[in-house]
Structure 1
Amino acid sequence: MSEKPRRTAEDEGDRREPEPAPARRSWHVIGLLALGASAAGFFTGIAKEARTVPGRPADDPAAIAPTPGYSDLRTTRRGPNARLYAKAFDRFEDKLPKTTDVVPPQTAEERARVLEARGALRAYDGAPPIIPHAVAGSSTTECLTCHEKGAVVAGRRAPAMSHERFESCTQCHAAASGPPSPPPPPLTQSTFVGASPVASGERAWKGAPPTIPHATRMRGQCGSCHGVAGALGMRSTHPWRESCTQCHTPSAALDGRASTLPPVGGAAPAARGAAP
């Protein structure tokens, strides 16, 4: 007798009936719905407007201030009164006229009074002025508090420096009064006579800008006398113009410079190093 062939699981699986058509369609519908929901969420996400974060302007001190170190934190004043003294000195500058303010009319008498008061503080024209008040002389900061930009203190005008910053003010500016000391020995007799101030500069024609009637060495900051911190009689009507020597020419004679221009109606001077 021949044995019947055995049926395997694969043979049984091949004979399974396929799933009905409605069940297959339901899986297709579920897949399409999931795909549609994903697409809708994706496009909704990319279409949403980004939230705008407010930024700080570049001039905001909190935005540009560097992080202080530990040594700075120990020595720096903090809190609402950190700039208490600085703000007090700022009020001195607030009393000065503004650059765009209209300058009141000035007279020749006012100019003469300014020159007389200016000469009373100097040994001669061009000499450094004395300090008309008591000073401790311990730091340059004491002088710069009022004289760096100019100020008005107790109704008195403190002019700005006419030169760049130096670290020893009392080396040239002697104090008019100081701590008690023995009287100095009498000065040696001298026949030196200092120069006298010039009232005003010359003009090439009526209406032309005047020349500078004094030396310009150590007096390059014209706003010291002619700016908003200057006294009436010396004030400029256009302090906002920064290049003064573009119109007001300095004097070669007062500056101690040899002239390179030929005399009027004469021959030109010989060049340096040229044979006679």
Structure 2
Amino acid sequence: MLHQLARIASPTSEDAAFAHQKLAELLAEEEPWRAALYARRVLQHFPTSHRAWAVLALSQSTLGHFRFARTAYQRALELAPKNGSYAHNLGHLLDVALGDPHAAVPWLRRAHDGARSDPSVAASYAHALGRSGRWADAKKVLGRALAHGPTRELSALARWVERRSDDVAVRPPAARHAPCGSARIVSQPGAHEALSRTLRLGLERLPFSDEQRSRARELARDATEQARLSVTRTRSSESLAAAIAYAIVFVDEVPLTHAEVAAPFRVPVAQLRGCFAELRAELRITRGDDRYAT
């Protein structure tokens, strides 16, 4: 019905804008390229539609065009500055995908102030606070959120914050890791080294436990040694590492989406899904798999 309305309505009409907006929202995660086209059609005639800017941002984020997504979210927030959902999405994008937790904190604070009972907002805010070095503040945010009702995501994040804050307390400054967002593979090491490095950096930006990270490394070894999956011209170290991380999410049923796992590795969701499907088939990975479950 939406497609029919989009065809018969005048391109400049509100009916056409309604149909294109709804189609964009429905397709943003599954078919982001098409969703972006529909959003652009809305903006062509209604450039001040904050909903169209927001769904364009979501589709571009899913495609891996993170800087474009940032600009679109900023435009949506200029038009609807009190929208906490947009602030949350922009903050999460800045922290996880663009590796800039300091820039993310103000947006996530704004979102959290308007939705203190939302565990996903609290988790995003605490994650950015932690990555900004504000571990005590991250603990406070998580403490309040857990008091409302614990979730697997909040509990896993609380363990991550506790562990990292302890590490910072005892680690000499010279030994601290550089910010994850600045880490890039500059040289051309062997494929195994590239995969190991990419996986380590990506896992640091996901709320995994130490045991889950260990299982991810075991899975990476099995992927390269048993399944003979390796980094090639058509399979980057980033896409394979993202698939390995998502395999842990799949096995342990961690409440993270494809997009949330793809973002730290800076790969499009479609690449993650394709590589994970191959990895899952080769290693016959199942939910609760004894080899990799924690």
Same fold (TM over 0.5): no
TM-score by length of 1: 0.29
